[in-house]
Amino acid sequence: MAGRYKIGRFQFDTYQEYVRGVEDVKKIEKITHSVDIYEPDTALRLYEAIRERRIKFYSKIGQQFFLDIADIVAENTKKGIKKQKVVVNTDRGRKILGVVCLICAIVCFVWYFWADYTNHSGNQIKDYLKSLGNVSVEGPEMVSNNTFFAESSPEMVRSASAETEEVLDTPEQAAPEVLEEYRSILQENQDFAGWIRIDGTHVDYPVMLKKSQSDFYLNRDFYGGEDINGTLFMDARTDLTNRSTNIIIYGHNMKSGQMFGDLKKYLDEDFWKEHKTIVFDTIYEKGTYEIFAVCRAQVKYQDEEGFRYYDFIEAENEETYQNFLDNIIQLSVFADQELPSYGEELLTLSTCNNYVEDGRLFLVAKKCREAE
């Protein structure tokens, strides 16, 4: 029964979430009894400490406290602006301009704190999930593109139709055993499908797979809460039980570097050569991949002809596999001379890139044989 555990106005679906809420309440009480959170300098220092994760929270109560502190800092700043305002001219036009500038400053300030808060919140969730599975792998603004995963976007339209066919035509298969380190994370959310990490980038995230709604995690965090960063997610046509030839993972291109924002670093050839390795585990198997092509493309809609890299999920035969590789080379910015052979498993990471309207940047990698 949803929301059976309560702390004040906050409801929790599981006992584990409730326990985290209790721990955050104790931490908040200790803070509020020790300092005056409304004092401007104290509020700002507290905000920075939470943002930099020197003080950590792991529940919706802690997240709300952080948002409250951000509001206090914003309000203090607004008061400071008003105190410092000196009227040097009573001209009506100058007054109006001053008001407009003040409003713009406040809006920008609030947006900064909101974006900062969502980044912080997402990092808190990631740290908590890593602690659950002991995920340790060795080795906020979006780029403007209103069509990225919109309902009319080819990635989503074609994915949804293919998904329907799969539900109708494909018999259920027994799933393999979930890797031990990912069982606790899977209990938190059954859409959890794997974990990806790339050295030299911000990429170190859980990856989701929701068959019923391809873009569900586009602007949601791991738990389904609002988050402008979104969460990395697989194409809905992906089959993890009978592993698809090509797993496609989508993510926002964030200017902060969050999600797939750092993939643009691969447009530098030296960076690509020095950071070819992707560590990507599904919940059923571990994997190490080598990036063999860095590509850019423009999405095509249903009435357009041409190659669609995001349509290659399963190789029907060697010819379709080779056709995919031939087209990848055509779209590549950089590519290895030695390409994968038919039967080798592939991984594609896709994000926005504004080199043209509806542009995409994507990396294609092959699974290393030693990881099989």
DSSP 8-state class, residue 38:
T
Same structural domain, 233 and 362:
yes
Task: List the domain range (segments joined by +) for residue 124.
Answer: 5-133
What pLDDT tens digit does each residue of the chain (372 aa) get? 445 678 878 888 887 787 888 888 888 888 888 888 888 888 888 888 888 888 888 888 888 888 888 888 877 776 665 555 544 444 555 556 555 655 655 555 555 555 555 555 566 677 677 777 665 444 444 444 444 444 445 565 555 544 444 444 445 556 789 999 999 999 999 999 999 999 999 999 999 999 988 889 999 999 998 888 899 999 999 999 999 999 999 999 988 888 999 999 999 999 999 999 999 999 999 999 999 999 999 988 777 888 999 999 999 999 999 999 999 999 999 999 999 999 999 999 999 998 887 889 999 999 997 644
pTM over 0.75: no
Same structural domain, 20 and 162:
no
On whether residue 195 sits in a domain, the answer given is: yes
**Using only C-alpha atoms, what is the Rg of the chain?**
24
On whether residue 207 sits in a domain, the answer given is: yes
CA separation for the pair 67, 262 (Å, rounded): 27
Q: Which residues contact 325 (CB under 8 A, 6 or more apart)?
A: 339, 340
On whether residue 141 sits in a domain, the answer given is: no
Alpha-carbon torsion angle 238, 243, 245, 248, nearest 10:
30
On whether residue 353 sits in a domain, the answer given is: yes
On whether residue 143 sits in a domain, the answer given is: no
Same structural domain, 269 and 364:
yes
Same structural domain, 356 and 211:
yes
Q: Which residues contact 149 (CB under 8 A, 6 or more apart)?
A: 155, 156, 214, 215, 218, 250
Domain boundary among 103, 133, 163: 133
Closest CA to 287 of 276, 277, 273, 275: 277
CATH number of the domain residue 158 falls in: 2.40.260.10
The angle at the Cα of 290, spanning 275 to 321, to the nearest 5 degrees, equals: 140
Q: Left (φ > 0), alpha (ψ -120 to 50) or beta: where does 297 sit?
A: beta
Main-chain dihedrals φ then ψ at residue 248, nearest 5 degrees? -105, 130
Same structural domain, 13 and 159:
no
CA separation for the pair 282, 267 (Å, rounded): 27
Q: What pLDDT was estimated at residue 288?
A: 97
Same structural domain, 273 and 197:
yes
Q: What pLDDT was estimated at residue 165?
A: 47
Same structural domain, 254 and 333:
yes
Same structural domain, 257 and 349:
yes
Q: What pLDDT was estimated at residue 106?
A: 55
Main-chain dihedrals φ then ψ at residue 62, nearest 5 degrees? -65, -40
DSSP 8-state class, residue 268:
S
Domain boundary among 133, 162, 191: 133
Q: Left (φ > 0), alpha (ψ -120 to 50) or beta: where does 358 sit?
A: left
Contact 238, 216 (CB under 8 A): no
Number of domains in the chain: 2
Q: What pLDDT was estimated at residue 166?
A: 46
DSSP 8-state class, residue 199:
T
Closest CA to 24 of 52, 50, 44: 50
Determine the distance from the C-alpha atom of residue 67 to the mean position of all C-alpha atoms in its chain, rounded to a whole number.
20
On whether residue 324 sits in a domain, the answer given is: yes
Q: What pLDDT was estimated at residue 274?
A: 97
Residue owning tokens 């036009």? 93
Q: Left (φ > 0), alpha (ψ -120 to 50) or beta: where does 224 sit?
A: left
Contact 203, 262 (CB under 8 A): yes
On whether residue 144 sits in a domain, the answer given is: no
On whether residue 367 sits in a domain, the answer given is: yes
SS3 367: strand
Same structural domain, 109 and 11:
yes
Same structural domain, 58 and 93:
yes
Q: What pLDDT was estimated at residue 261?
A: 94
Contact 115, 141 (CB under 8 A): yes
Same structural domain, 168 and 106:
no
Same structural domain, 76 and 166:
no
H helix intervals, the chain: 15-34, 40-51, 60-84, 92-133, 154-169, 183-188, 269-274, 318-331
CA separation for the pair 311, 254 (Å, rounded): 24
Query: Beta partners for 249?
Result: 234, 349
